[in-house]
Structure 1
C-alpha cells in the first residue's frame, strides 16, 4: 500500500509539474481558474468529437470549458486529467486511482461542473 501511495503522489506531482510550467500555476498571483489556451483547446476538440464538428458545437464546447474553468481550479483539472490517464492503465496501480476517497471527490466535483456546463451550454 505504501508503494501505491508513492506511485499516486509521483503521478500527481508529475501532472502538477507540467501544469506549473504550462500555465497559471507557475505564477501564484495568477487567477487559479485561468486555464491556458492549450488546455481549453484540447477540451473543446474532445467535446466537438462527441458533439459534432460544427460552429455551433465549437461555441457550446467553448462555453462548457469556460464554465468548468470558473468552477474547478486549473491545478485540480490537471490532477484529474493525470488520474484519468492512470486509471486507464492495467494492473494494481490503476486500482489505486479508482479507490482513493479524495480522487472520487475530485471526480464528482468535475462531473457536477460538467452537468452544470451542459445545462448552461447545451440547452435541449
Structure 2
C-alpha cells in the first residue's frame, strides 16, 4: 500500500473515532447509550485491524470500507481488552514448537474460536470475501 493510501486510511479511521468532549454529567447520562452502540477502540487498534484485513483480502479501495465495517462490527460486540486477547490467541494458534504451546491450551482454543466466529460474522455482514491468495505486485511482475 502506498504511503498516501495509509495516510488516507488513518484519517478516515480518525474521523470515525473522534468525538466531541462531553462534561462528566453528560458522560454519565449517555454511558448506557454508548454501551448500546459498542465499545470505543483506540484509533491505532482500528487502523492495525483494517490494514491486516486488507493484507489478507486485497488492497483495493472497497476493502477500506469493508474492513472498517468489520472492525466496527467487532467493536459493537466485544470490549477492546477482550478483542486484543482473543485476536492474539487466534493469530498465534498455529505457532509451532514449544513457544506456541501456550496458544494451544483449552482456554486459548476457546478464545480463538470466539474471535474467529465473530470475525466471520463481521466479514459476512460487511461483504468481506476471504480470498485464498491475494496477488502481490512482486508476484505479478514475475509472470
TM > 0.5: yes
Is 2:81 aligned against 1:75?
yes
1:85 & 1:108 partners in 2: Cα distance? 11
Q: CA RMSD in A?
A: 2.7
Higher relative contact order (CA closer than 8 Å, sequence separation 6+): 1
Unmatched runs of 5 consecutive residues or more in structure 2: 1-30, 130-143
Instruction: Specify whether residues 86 and 116 from structure 1 end up closer, same or farther in structure 2 by C-alpha distance, changes over 3 A only.
Output: closer
Length-normalised TM-score, structure 2? 0.55
Aligned residues: 95
Length-normalised TM-score, structure 1? 0.63
Deviation at residue 65 of structure 1 after TM alignment? 0.6
Deviation at residue 89 of structure 1 after TM alignment? 5.4
Alpha-carbon contact 1:44-1:62 (below 8 Å) kept: yes
Unmatched runs of 5 consecutive residues or more in structure 1: 1-28
Alpha-carbon contact 2:93-2:109 (below 8 Å) kept: no
Larger radius of gyration: 2
1:41 & 1:70 partners in 2: Cα distance? 16
